[in-house]
Structure 1
Amino acid sequence: MSARSWWLMISVGLGMLLNPLNSSMIAVAIPRLQHVFQLDFTVVSWIIFTFYIASAISNPLVGKASDLFGRKKIFLTGLIVALVASLLAPFSSSFGWLIVFRIVQSIGTSMMIAVGMAVIRIHIKEKQATALSVLTIFQSGAAAIGPFIGGVLIHWWDWPAIFFINIPFVLLSFLFCWRTIPTDEMPTSAAHSMSFRKWLDSIDALGILLFTTGLIPLLVGLLSIKPSEPVSFISVVAVLIGLTLLGVFVRHELKAESPFIPLRTLAKYPAITWVNVEFMIVNLLFYTLFFGIPSYLQTVRHVSEFHTGILMLSLGLCSLVASPLAGRWIDKSGPRPALFVAAILMTLGAVWIVTWNQTSPVISVCLALAVFGICNGLNSVGMQAALFRSSPKEIIGVVSGLFSTARNLGAILSSLLIGIVMGDNFSFGGFRLLGIILAGVALSLVFMNRRQQESGRLPES
């Protein structure tokens, strides 16, 4: 592989790591933001899933826009948007403005995620698997060390530092990408002459609008439900409005020529549907713990942000170590054995969390984090392998987009679950209840994987 190809991978990787870095650093900032803005836990949790909602919506939109306007332009624009958000977020006068800048940051960083892989696939002709694995290391590494970096920054400089840290990455990536990403070819005459309305139809703007306007009231209604209080009329209305709009969204997607989420494709290939559902559940489990354990350590155990980041590092490092080992295992035995073992480990880890108390030794927390890190490595590689084995080559692009959406939906559901269980304040009792719920969900994954392995629904070779 040429030196120019390596520089292209590094340039793109520096931009692509911003999305997982910012989605993971926030995990250790929740208690601090709750204290600074004097808000209850339910309200503060919006900073988590608004990021994932914006990312879930932006990915397919940006992917289609890059075909029309050029990938280099979209990638560089994403860097500029991320830079503006990182500069303005630390000066937010209220939590509402901080949410706005987080959404802008999510859109900007998602532009690089959506386009980066395409840039590498198009402009690196040899050893593409190696090139894609390098980008995966950038993203996985950023997610792995995000809580550690966030903990250190908040400990020494307070929460605005988790936004300022993006600036050197953005500037380096912009400088390198400006020089290394080849200029896109002129769009085809059909794309160049496409009207704005035609472009809106091609990206399914109505579908995106229905999905967004349905998801937000549904989440607002569910988050306003508190275990200790009766359900309010407004909450019920919000949930019903959300479900109604999502029902209209499903009906629209079944008729749309270029749907935001291709439901007909999912119906035609049930194995793809199953992998995406399973991946969403896996991410629900992972992100519930990823965001829940730092809050448990800081709120219940009164561990500092700095030491919380150090403890969370064991999860990320074990995930990085497990990923290449999982790849070798899956190449030999197929994805199902690895996914089955991961489900068992997640069940044992969740049960282990239920046994914790306010004085459980730190080594117990580290072991649980290590177990979940190994599970994340097995699941990340195993799920992708299962997806590719069950997907026809001609729709692999659409399937990859759905896979990313499933991850984001899992993260959104995890934030929703934490908010509903915890209510206004993060408590030890609520955290133990989360562990019980997750143990049940993980146990169901054990049976699901076992059943699929026996039925051969997903081919192993």
Structure 2
Amino acid sequence: MIVTTAPSRGMKRTELLLISAVALGTLLNPLNTTMISVALTRLQESFELTFADVSWLISTYYLASAIGQPVMGKWSDLFGRKRVFMMGLLLVTLASCLAPLSPSFGWLIAFRVIQAFGSSALFPSGMGIIRSQITSNQARALGVLSVFSSTSAAFGPTLGGLLVHYGDWPLIFLFNFPFILGSFLLAWKVFPRDPKRSGSLSDMDWTGVALFSSAIFMWLLFLLSIKDGFSLWMLAVSTVLTVVLYRFELGKKRPFIDVAFLRKNGKVTMIYLQFILMNLVFYSIMFGMPSYLQQVRLLDAEHTGLVMLSVAGFSVVITPLASRWIDRRGPKPALLLGTSTVILGTLLLLIIQGQTSAAVIFLVLSVSGISYGFNNLGMQTALYEFVAKEETGIASGLFMTSRFIGTILSSSLLTMLFGSNITTSHLHGMAWVCAAIGVIILFLTVRLPDSRRTVVPQRD
């Protein structure tokens, strides 16, 4: 049983600096995911590409991140969390320096992949350090990281638009340096030294990594191909690779993906599934609504961005409140409220019609922001209640991989529902599908065990 003791008022200065170091690093991945979206048109012009060609900048980043999160998480467990965190910052630095100098589009994709792998090291290693160093009010610490992550993702398109307008697309990469420098200096100063590790590269399950990467890649190709027709052979290859991965890892003593642990610990597996579904709904709204607002409601990019800020803005506002509630009562009550508002938020999309004002749409979308604030933090906290501290790296990596899987699924859902023509009826179709998914998420939340912690009331 984990006992939560009453904390001292406020966090210590060292803890705040440690959280700041991790937060400045972890925001690099979501920030670079969304900033690039507004530069696609300029990149098409610079490299003389079609939109389908340039969209691989986004797809390869998701793919590299989905693979890199658990790989880097495992490395942080084997070789030391501070060491892997600093290595990740150096990789992002290298990629951000070289990307603006790319002689061709292929080189730009390669540097983006390096950037994705580097930024993928920061969340799992940083989470491992926070869990080992901050023993009270962990939900508040997670809440700070969640605010940094959601804020960077939300403001990415706005920042990207300004950078492209005033300095063209290379500035998007150069913009990373203040965050890299701040995170590096703080981490160098406040991160504890890594204990001596007996791990080596030979301890890594490289066959498992290859199988996992191949399976993720084939599923991505299959999902992206659905818009052009159902590919039976891609589905078959993806399924076979998944089965082979499962059976191979099941027989390993030190597997890359501990499927035996996931099979025995259904709670962790269900949390991953919930997180996939939650992100499927959230990113369907985040990616689908801007296209609807611009193509159907004919809003310009500036006004569309302001309307979409309701989702991220309310998520940022609700996260500190959710963290206090979770510290007191555990994650389940917050998750029950969060998953209920998933259903409410998606059903409210049905009131949007051709003449609905932007103010009403803003309020409708704010419900989705509230649900994400509760669910994102609640699911992180629930996960770590069922994961040992020494497994934090790989567990955090798989958690972020679940987010990317949900994002990829949302893209496929929108492709099937919207096709080449977006209408209000198509938006309502998305709302019904997401509401049905919300019901599944709520069912899984109800089945989640109550907190394992003995919660002691806190004084503010």
- Shorter chain as denominator, the TM-score bin is 0.7 to 0.9
Which of 211-220 and 247-256 deviates more? 211-220
Residue 459 of structure 1: aligned partner:
450
Deviation at 1:318, TM superposition (A): 0.6
Which of 54-63 and 324-333 deviates more? 324-333
Letter of the aligned partner of 1:25 in structure 2?
Answer: M
Q: Provide closer, same or farther for how the CA distance between residues 339 and 66 of structure 1 changes in structure 2, counting only shifts above 3 A.
A: closer
Q: What is the alpha-carbon distance in structure 1 between the residues aligned to residue 406 and residue 257 of structure 2?
A: 16
> Are 2:282 and 1:286 equivalent residues in the alignment?
yes
Deviation at 1:84, TM superposition (A): 2.5
Root-mean-square deviation (CA, aligned residues, Å) is 3.3
Residue 362 of structure 1: aligned partner:
358
> Are 2:218 and 1:208 equivalent residues in the alignment?
no
Q: What is the alpha-carbon distance in structure 1 between the residues aligned to residue 188 and residue 93 of structure 2?
A: 15
Pairing partner for 2:50 from 21, 35, 39: 39
Question: Is the contact between residue 77 and residue 393 of structure 2 (CA under 8 Å) also seen in structure 1?
Answer: no
Which of 259-268 and 112-121 deviates more? 112-121
Q: Provide closer, same or farther for how the CA distance between residues 145 and 30 of structure 1 changes in structure 2, counting only shifts above 3 A.
A: same
> Are 2:364 and 1:373 equivalent residues in the alignment?
no
> Are 2:19 and 1:18 equivalent residues in the alignment?
no
Residue 437 of structure 1: aligned partner:
433
Deviation at 1:255, TM superposition (A): 1.0
Question: Is the contact between residue 151 and residue 309 of structure 1 (CA under 8 Å) also seen in structure 2?
Answer: no
The C-alpha deviation readout for 1:262-320, integer Å capped at 9, x for no partner, is: 11112212222222211211111112222222333344444343333333222222112
> Are 2:88 and 1:87 equivalent residues in the alignment?
no
Secondary structure of 1:225's counterpart equals: helix
Residue 8 of structure 2: aligned partner:
none
The C-alpha deviation readout for 1:227-261, integer Å capped at 9, x for no partner, is: xx654xxx332232222222211111111222222
Letter of the aligned partner of 2:215 in structure 1?
Answer: G
Question: Is the contact between residue 20 and residue 142 of structure 1 (CA under 8 Å) also seen in structure 2?
Answer: yes
Residue 336 of structure 2: aligned partner:
340
Q: Provide closer, same or farther for how the CA distance between residues 426 and 212 of structure 1 changes in structure 2, counting only shifts above 3 A.
A: farther
> Are 2:91 and 1:54 equivalent residues in the alignment?
no
Residue 323 of structure 1: aligned partner:
319
Q: Provide closer, same or farther for how the CA distance between residues 105 and 354 of structure 1 changes in structure 2, counting only shifts above 3 A.
A: farther
Q: Provide closer, same or farther for how the CA distance between residues 142 and 120 of structure 1 changes in structure 2, counting only shifts above 3 A.
A: same
Question: Is the contact between residue 28 and residue 309 of structure 1 (CA under 8 Å) also seen in structure 2?
Answer: no
Q: What is the alpha-carbon distance in structure 1 between the residues aligned to residue 166 and residue 307 of structure 2?
A: 17
- For 1:115-126, list aligned pairs within 5 A: 115-122=125-132
Deviation at 1:181, TM superposition (A): 3.7
Q: What is the alpha-carbon distance in structure 1 between the residues aligned to residue 139 and residue 435 of structure 2?
A: 36
Letter of the aligned partner of 1:404 in structure 2?
Answer: M
Q: Provide closer, same or farther for how the CA distance between residues 71 and 165 of structure 1 changes in structure 2, counting only shifts above 3 A.
A: same
Pairing partner for 1:404 from 388, 393, 400: 400
Question: Is the contact between residue 322 and residue 378 of structure 1 (CA under 8 Å) also seen in structure 2?
Answer: yes
> Are 2:117 and 1:107 equivalent residues in the alignment?
yes
Q: What is the alpha-carbon distance in structure 2 between the residues aligned to residue 91 and residue 422 of structure 1?
A: 36
Residue 155 of structure 2: aligned partner:
145
The C-alpha deviation readout for 1:43-73, integer Å capped at 9, x for no partner, is: 6554444323322322232233335544433
> Are 2:202 and 1:218 equivalent residues in the alignment?
no
Letter of the aligned partner of 1:327 in structure 2?
Answer: S
Q: What is the alpha-carbon distance in structure 2 between the residues aligned to residue 216 and residue 50 of structure 1?
A: 9
Question: Is the contact between residue 389 and residue 458 of structure 1 (CA under 8 Å) also seen in structure 2?
Answer: no
Which of 111-120 and 298-307 deviates more? 298-307
Letter of the aligned partner of 2:318 in structure 1?
Answer: A
Deviation at 1:31, TM superposition (A): 6.8
Q: What is the alpha-carbon distance in structure 1 between the residues aligned to residue 71 and residue 359 of structure 2?
A: 44
Question: Is the contact between residue 286 and residue 376 of structure 1 (CA under 8 Å) also seen in structure 2?
Answer: yes
Q: Provide closer, same or farther for how the CA distance between residues 45 and 374 of structure 1 changes in structure 2, counting only shifts above 3 A.
A: farther
Secondary structure of 2:50's counterpart equals: coil
Q: What is the alpha-carbon distance in structure 2 between the residues aligned to residue 249 and residue 286 of structure 1?
A: 29
Q: Provide closer, same or farther for how the CA distance between residues 381 and 242 of structure 1 changes in structure 2, counting only shifts above 3 A.
A: same
Which of 154-163 and 322-331 deviates more? 154-163
The C-alpha deviation readout for 1:123-170, integer Å capped at 9, x for no partner, is: 667876665554444334323433433344345545443323212222
Residue 238 of structure 2: aligned partner:
242
Residue 250 of structure 2: aligned partner:
254
Task: Note the residue ranges of structure 2 that are not aligned, 5 or more in a row.
Answer: 1-10, 453-460
Deviation at 1:108, TM superposition (A): 0.9
Letter of the aligned partner of 1:110 in structure 2?
Answer: S
Letter of the aligned partner of 1:39 in structure 2?
Answer: T
Residue 183 of structure 2: aligned partner:
173
The C-alpha deviation readout for 1:92-117, integer Å capped at 9, x for no partner, is: 56654443332221111111222222
Q: What is the alpha-carbon distance in structure 1 between the residues aligned to residue 133 and residue 146 of structure 2?
A: 17
Question: Is the contact between residue 73 and residue 397 of structure 2 (CA under 8 Å) also seen in structure 1?
Answer: no
Question: Is the contact between residue 79 and residue 112 of structure 1 (CA under 8 Å) also seen in structure 2?
Answer: yes
Question: Is the contact between residue 127 and residue 393 of structure 2 (CA under 8 Å) also seen in structure 1?
Answer: no
Q: Provide closer, same or farther for how the CA distance between residues 391 and 87 of structure 1 changes in structure 2, counting only shifts above 3 A.
A: closer
Question: Is the contact between residue 86 and residue 105 of structure 1 (CA under 8 Å) also seen in structure 2?
Answer: yes
Q: What is the alpha-carbon distance in structure 2 between the residues aligned to residue 149 and residue 84 of structure 1?
A: 21
Secondary structure of 1:224's counterpart equals: helix
Q: What is the alpha-carbon distance in structure 2 between the residues aligned to residue 383 and residue 127 of structure 1?
A: 16
Question: Is the contact between residue 281 and residue 434 of structure 2 (CA under 8 Å) also seen in structure 1?
Answer: yes
Which of 110-119 and 251-260 deviates more? 110-119
Deviation at 1:377, TM superposition (A): 0.7
Task: Note the residue ranges of structure 1 that are not aligned, 5 or more in a row.
Answer: none
Letter of the aligned partner of 2:95 in structure 1?
Answer: A
Letter of the aligned partner of 2:449 in structure 1?
Answer: L
Q: What is the alpha-carbon distance in structure 1 between the residues aligned to residue 275 and residue 139 of structure 2?
A: 22
Q: Percent identity?
A: 41
Question: Is the contact between residue 124 and residue 394 of structure 2 (CA under 8 Å) also seen in structure 1?
Answer: no
The C-alpha deviation readout for 1:164-209, integer Å capped at 9, x for no partner, is: 3212222333344344445444x34x43xx4x4x2xxx33211121
Q: What is the alpha-carbon distance in structure 2 between the residues aligned to residue 407 and residue 96 of structure 1?
A: 26
The C-alpha deviation readout for 1:395-431, integer Å capped at 9, x for no partner, is: 66654443333222212222232344445x4633654
Letter of the aligned partner of 2:309 in structure 1?
Answer: L
How many residues are aligned here? 440
Q: Provide closer, same or farther for how the CA distance between residues 299 and 279 of structure 1 changes in structure 2, counting only shifts above 3 A.
A: same
Letter of the aligned partner of 1:22 in structure 2?
Answer: N
Q: What is the alpha-carbon distance in structure 2 between the residues aligned to residue 34 and residue 295 of structure 1?
A: 19
Q: Provide closer, same or farther for how the CA distance between residues 385 and 27 of structure 1 changes in structure 2, counting only shifts above 3 A.
A: same
